[in-house]
A and B are shown apart, each in its own frame.
Chain A
Amino acid sequence: MKRLFSISFLAGLLVVVLATTFWPLPTHLRYRSLITVPPDGGRQEEFVIRWPEDRIRLPGEDRAALPATAAVGAAVLEDSAGQRASAELFRLRDADDNVIGVATRLAGTGGAIADPGRSASNWLLVIPSRGALFLAQTDVQDTTLTEVPTADGPAVFAPEQTAAFWAERQRLLVTANAPATTSSVTTGRVLRGTSEFEGLRGSFSETWALDEVSAGGSTQGRILLSTFTAAGS
């Protein structure tokens, strides 16, 4: 009986050793990276976000209770001086339309951030199987979201999701051009990357493209993020 107990005890230990060694810890699904290498070096990669479908709804948000033009998965913080910051959560797609990660857009106005009437925005692109990219730019106009009280509570509105915003255009290059005194063409900068993107620097541009205006005054479209990076540039 004593021997049987000892063997069982050792079997239990062995199970733990095997589980610790071979337990299938989480890994992230990876899609083939769609990177273009220009003739003069570097790497170009395009990312796509579809609105409104790629917005990540937060718990407790009921899309049906919100106005058609309201944005889900977003928040606004405004101080007493009217200086504002807004945050948006998205799924991130590659050029083949696969959801490969998540993206967040934070934009802010006022004070030390940007000229009056404009905003500066940050993109955080996280592709779990590859790493993250940190992007920053000055916008051509104020692209922060606004919070408006409604009968069902406050609703957040994104400029690109309202039909009136597209009255005179189908596309908008959101990234402002750099001042002529600088050596760069665009204000869109890839500040840093992690994991596979570690050591990469470069530039990017953000473009909003309208696809459809619905009868209710809401819109559908795409946010196009075009990145150009190179090691240590």
Chain B
Amino acid sequence: MRALVVVLGLLLGLLVGASAVLLNPLAWLRGLPPLSGELAPFKAYRGEAYRGIDLRAGSLLRAGRQDPAVALNDPALRHVRIGIIVLPAGEGAPAALAVKVSAAAESNSLWRAQLGTNDYWNIYWPGGGSIFATGYSNFWTVTRDGFFATLGGDFSAAGAAGYPVSAPPTAGSAAGVTGAAGRYAGFTGEIRELLYPAAGEARGRDPNWAVAIKANPPPFTTR
């Protein structure tokens, strides 16, 4: 009987403690404002063609086992994800070929509700031009809702609407768009990403994503 009481007390303490940590109000305060849907519409894609970590809490906490079929085994690449993405045509823009590299952010902090990756994009529009983009994605709210969903909570609406994972960069990192080639050379701008974990889990595949990019031409200068 005493052992049962100890186990129950311990489990309840762990549950309450974990819930309190996950409900850190900083998670609500952090986050970047959305871009105008007219200027920078989201483009949805399925991020299946990747190698490396799966961006779930287990990988970001170094607590999960990586799928050996996609893991990068080089010691320097253990917490990196790399993939090729085709961004579909639509909303007045042609299709684009992109690569995305995500690396677990070393500045992550569980007390500061930061569990994310530093992301690097290179996007190329055939015949048009190319841009680089970088940002920080925080998966804290996705992790939090996933935890409470296992306890019976219903977060399907949040998952279907997509989690805005783009957050202000952590200390020492940067965010933004840098135009590289063609008509986008010299452009600057911003990037936002959405994650749809519910759609991905329902099909048993990697989550769906969406990305929005706003790029502005360089300022006019006169001689």
Residues of A within 8 A of B (CB): 1, 4-17, 20-21, 23-31, 56-59, 73-79, 81, 83-87, 89, 91, 98-102, 104, 106-114, 120, 122, 124, 126-129, 131-132, 134, 136, 191-192, 194-195, 198
Known: A58-B84, A75-B86, A77-B86. A120 touches B122 (CB 8 A): no
**CB-based contact B78/A106 at 8 Å:** no
The 8 A-B residue pairs whose C-beta atoms are closest, nearest first, are A12-B13, A8-B9, A16-B17, A111-B127, A83-B127, A110-B127, A77-B97, A112-B182
- How many Å from the CB of B34 to the closest CB on chain A? 23
**A75, A86, A107: residue with the most chain B Cβ atoms closer than 10 Å:** A75
6 contacts between A and B (CB under 8 A): A12-B15, A25-B109, A77-B126, A106-B124, A120-B130, A191-B132
- Please classify the interface of chain A as helix (H, G, I), strand (E, B), loop, or mixed, using the class held by over half of its residues: mixed
B interface, size bucket: 35 or more
**CB-based contact A11/B9 at 8 Å:** yes
List, in ascending order, chain B residues with CB within 8 A of A79's CB.
Answer: 94-95, 126-127
**CB-based contact B96/A59 at 8 Å:** no
- Please classify the interface of chain B as helix (H, G, I), strand (E, B), loop, or mixed, using the class held by over half of its residues: mixed
- How many Å from the CB of A217 to the closest CB on chain B? 26
Confirm or deny: B49 has a beta carbon within 8 angstroms of a beta carbon on chain A: yes
**CB-based contact B70/A23 at 8 Å:** no
Q: How far, in whole Å, are A112 and B14 apart by their CA atoms in the complex?
A: 59
Known: A87-B84, A99-B76. A136 touches B126 (CB 8 A): no
List, in ascending order, chain A residues with CB within 8 A of B223's CB.
Answer: none
- How many Å from the CB of A187 to the closest CB on chain B? 10
